[in-house]
Amino acid sequence: MKKTYFISTLIWFVLLYACKTEKTKANIPPTFKNAYLGQTPPNLTPIPFAPGLISTEIYEYDGAFSKDMKAFYFIRRGEEHKKSAFYEYKYNETNGKWEKSEIASPWIGRPVISPDGQTMHLGDKYLKRTESGWSELQSLEPPTVSNDSMYIMRLSSSANGTYYFDTYKENDSTFPIHYSRLINGKHEAPTALPKAINTGTFLSHPFIAPDESYLLFDAEREDGFGDSDIYISFKQKNGTWGNSINLGDKINTNAWEASASITPDGKYLFFSRNVGTDDFENVDIFWVDATIIEALRPKDTNQ
């Protein structure tokens, strides 16, 4: 009896250690030379990401790292093209340098890479990872895209394949954020998220945590700091979404802040901010230590 109890206890500790080790591995920052494009990581005060390379005096937004952190994707407007173009900085393992290339012009969607690294979501379009790189551009099919009048600006997927996306409609500022679960290999018809999230106007650019424990998005609300602000909603123990929390005055200003996401290593929060005038001629990509997320998490949502 004692031997059986000892073996059961030993197995329990081994499984617990394995789970903790796996979780730790997921949050280990990259150790290769010149990680994060060679930038010095920020603290709890947001700073422009890679000044001169990524953040310049023109319009850059929606930055996203690949799962292995060796490629960075972003959109820029006003450089070689009058319209927005889609760029990649890729780490060259031979010389240890980051090399820039243009993927598409005009841009084809706001990049969000799936947790498994195999899909680059681009709004209502996407690319699949292949042995030689990314596939040709593909389009989402119904019921996720329900009609021609609805335009998905940004789509993010969880580890289990659930989609979270905005549903922009021209001349309509009240479009809600939806989700669509993956059931038996197909996505179900979209369902609007509750008022805890869908309150205010211009509800846009959702980013779902891989485990669906929280959702980042931006919106214009009366309790905000001015223009669009970034908010977070945490999943409660009973599976419902908690009331959205403004990320605060370190992230949000009286300017436009939007398109928040977390790096695949879980270390940093990226977002876009209008640092110019109201005409959005100068938008930069900012980054900040992601521990600000845990500082906002209500205690009763901890698993």
SS in 3 state form for 150-164?
CECCCEEECCCCCEE
Confidence at residue 179, expressed as pLDDT on a 0 to 100 scale: 96
27 belongs to a structural domain: no
Residue 97 inside a domain? The answer is yes
Q: How far is CA 132 from the centre of its chain?
A: 25
Let me know if residue 63 belongs to a domain.
Answer: yes
SS3 8: helix
Supply the range of the domain harboring residue 174: 35-301
Beta-strand runs (E) in 4-132: 47-48, 59-65, 71-77, 84-92, 97-104, 111-113, 119-122, 125-130
- 17 is a domain residue: no
| Residue-level pLDDT at 101 | 93
Per-residue pLDDT of the chain (303 residues; tens, 9 = 90+): 444 433 443 333 333 334 443 443 445 567 678 899 999 999 999 999 999 999 999 999 999 999 999 999 999 987 665 678 999 999 999 999 999 999 888 888 899 999 999 999 999 999 999 998 999 999 998 777 766 667 899 999 999 999 999 988 878 888 999 999 999 999 999 999 999 999 999 999 999 999 999 999 999 999 899 889 999 999 999 999 999 999 999 999 999 999 999 999 999 999 999 997 777 889 999 999 999 999 999 887 554
| Residue 86, domain member (yes or no) | yes
Task: Specify if 293 maps to a domain.
Answer: yes
Residue 237 token pair: 């123990």
The per-residue pLDDT for 82 is 63
CATH of the domain at 217: 2.120.10.30
Q: Which pLDDT score, from 0 to 100, does residue 301 have? A: 56
Q: How many domains does the chain have?
A: 1
Residue 20 lies in a domain: no
Kindly state whether residue 6 falls inside one of the protein's structural domains.
no
pTM of the complete model? 0.87
Residue 51 pLDDT: 96
Give CA–CA dist 95/92, Å, rounded: 6
